[in-house]
Amino acid sequence: MIEPKQYREAMARYAGHVQVVTTAAGGKRRGVTVTAACSVSDDPATVLVCLNRSNPKNQIFLDSGAFALNTLASDQQNVASAFSGEFGMDEDERFEEGDWDTIESGAPTLRGATVTFDCRLSDYTTLGTHMVLFGEVVGLRMGDHRAALLYMNRGYHHL
C-alpha cells in the first residue's frame, strides 16, 4: 500500500494546468484553485474536476448543479493564489481578484481566462478524499493565446 504522504510527494512532480473552478448558489459564490481537471468527452462536451470533499464549503458545487472551469494564463498567478487558500481570503475577497461575469449556467466566469468551460453538473462520484464532478459544457469562452500557468514541484511555472 502506498502511503498518502509518499503519493502526494510523487504527485508534486506531476505538472498540471492551473484552473479555478467556481460556482454559485443561494447568493453565495465559491471558487477553488485546482490542477486535477481534464476533458472527458467531446460529444457531449464534458469535463471533470476533482475537489477535496473534506472541506464542507465544497458542498455548494453539488447544491448548485453548475460550475465553471476557468483556465489560467501565466499572468493570472494572483488569481490562482487568491483561490488556493494560501492567503486565508474569504470568498468575497477571492472574487475581488480578476473580472467576473457569467455565461450560461450562472456560475462565475473569469473574463480574460485562456478558456472557460461553463458547465451543468451532469454527474458526480466520490472516491477516497475527493469528489469527482462531471460537467456537460453548456457555454464556452475562448480568450487570447497566452502562456499557460502550470503548477509543479509545489510552485508555479509558465509554459
Cα(34)–Cα(23) distance, integer angstroms: 14
* Per-residue model confidence (pLDDT) at position 65: 98
* Per-residue model confidence (pLDDT) at position 28: 97
* Per-residue model confidence (pLDDT) at position 16: 94
Using an 8 Å Cβ cutoff, are 83 and 91 in contact?
Answer: no
Cα(146)–Cα(144) distance, integer angstroms: 6
For residue range 26-49, what is the model confidence (pLDDT) as tens digits?
999 999 999 999 999 999 999 999
* Per-residue model confidence (pLDDT) at position 15: 93
Looking at the DSSP bridge assignments, the partners of residue 23 are: 30
Using an 8 Å Cβ cutoff, are 82 and 94 in contact?
Answer: yes
| Superfamily classification of domain 4-151 | Electron Transport, Fmn-binding Protein; Chain A (2.30.110.10)
Domain boundaries of the chain, sorted by first residue: 4-151
Distance of CA 6 to the CA centre of its chain: 24
Using an 8 Å Cβ cutoff, are 32 and 51 in contact?
Answer: yes
Q: Which residue's C-alpha cell is 500500500?
A: 1
